Structure 1
């Protein structure tokens, strides 16, 4: 890696300060928070404002907020995002941490479609595959995504639908599924206990886009002989962290 340019680093430090609080700062506040010389702060703020990365706050003399150029850069970045590619990269990182199978999936009607899968380092027979479609109510990713639907939309999708079983543990009763989804909404994660594969359990967490909308779910799957309460807690934390990482890559900022 080449040498970092101090002036550029300080300019980015200034811009990143505006991600905190109410998004407005004065030069003295920037000086104090970054421990910079006043002259240096003044020169950097003047330069950033001249290039439209910062702009004065109307009716608040001496205060600045992020300028239109930062919005243009962020919008261009969002346009170039590829959920499948970003999902594969995050899934790979999570799988390398735990050695288990990791999925990223989307919801379509009452099915999930897997857009990324990274296999376990152990030999595991899975029913899932990238590009494959499975009943959402039988999977952790599917139940996670169903739980985020507005109630009216969920009921419309369930109306007249037969919930088929993939294993004896699959939820086939609509009321039992509704109860499970209500619990998932409270917990913020979904668990599958041998509902799509008699030999596998799974935990999933939601992935959000920059507008906060749930667009996918990330899961970690493990054979039942390696599944216990301690392992479930570990994998739940990994799934949540992976889903948050993928959400951040898609531009989501969690409320402070």
Structure 2
């Protein structure tokens, strides 16, 4: 939905200034702002003075004339983050991805060694799926689950895996399920390198899928987004196409959660 009414130039310029601080090392001087935004010097100084008075900018200690974002921007960002609903945001992004490719899209979380589906948008085609919103499935049998397991620190992964193995062998949902712990470990190591996970008829004999990681604002992987396809529509070209779509969707959901890229705060 577009803006209603006329944009106010002074407000637009103030936001332009604030958004400049998202780049580089996060500090700027008034002359740098003037040059980058091509503003009159007087306008820049008035806007910077106003933003500083309202605590949206503060002067950098021991660096006279340089500014950084102030506590007010942190407070606004924190309130926005508090209001985020991963399930709602996930469903919206899943809908966008599904509308693009016409296939089933999931968003899931990891709990112990299981995945819980928090969002699902069905394919426009008739496809039998074992997943459902709120349902739990063994993580090692799904693309989203393998992606989430691969994103755990090595020590935590081993602890969870060993605890599950104490209960008995890993479940096999289909003949293709990775129920051998050593095979699973090798697959997860490869997923860590690739950054995406592929499932080849491992939870459903009629379906394959690809998943990508979703990160929160700290860079921690908190969910995974997948695209599922009936095997009769699966091919190397389709896999590459859906890998790109899943990655794009996961990146979009990460951005909505506040992730800005760069070095993650955790796998």
Q: How much has 1:129 moved relative to structure 2? A: 0.5
The one of 152, 157, 161 aligned to 1:158: 161
- Aligned residue number for residue 198 of structure 2: 191
- Aligned residue number for residue 91 of structure 1: 94
The one of 187, 206, 212 aligned to 2:213: 206
Which SS does the other structure have where 1:122 is aligned?
A: coil
Which SS does the other structure have where 1:155 is aligned?
A: helix
Q: How much has 1:93 moved relative to structure 2? A: 0.8
Q: How much has 1:120 moved relative to structure 2? A: 0.7
Distance 1:243 1:97 in 2: 14
- Aligned residue number for residue 241 of structure 1: 248
The one of 38, 47, 55 aligned to 1:52: 55
Distance 2:28 2:91 in 1: 38
Q: How much has 1:2 moved relative to structure 2? A: 2.1
1:67 matched to 2:73? The reply is no
1:122 matched to 2:125? The reply is yes
Distance 2:244 2:252 in 1: 12
- Aligned residue number for residue 46 of structure 2: 43
Distance 1:2 1:221 in 2: 42
Distance 1:138 1:88 in 2: 22
Q: 1:210-229 maps to which residues of 2 (within 5 A)?
A: 210-229=217-236
Q: How much has 1:152 moved relative to structure 2? A: 1.7
Distance 2:56 2:223 in 1: 32
Q: How much has 1:5 moved relative to structure 2? A: 1.4
User: Could you report, residue by residue, the CA deviation over 1:204-245 in whole angstroms, capped at 9, with x for unpaired residues?
Assistant: 001111111111100011111111111111111111111111
The one of 22, 28, 40 aligned to 2:25: 22
1:140 matched to 2:143? The reply is yes
Which SS does the other structure have where 1:60 is aligned?
A: coil
CA RMSD of aligned residues (A): 1.0
Q: Number of residue pairs matched?
A: 256
Distance 2:262 2:40 in 1: 32
Which SS does the other structure have where 1:163 is aligned?
A: coil
5+ unaligned residues in a row in structure 1: which ranges? none
5+ unaligned residues in a row in structure 2: which ranges? none
User: Could you report, residue by residue, the CA deviation over 1:118-148 in whole angstroms, capped at 9, with x for unpaired residues?
Assistant: 0111111111000011010000000000001
Which SS does the other structure have where 2:152 is aligned?
A: coil
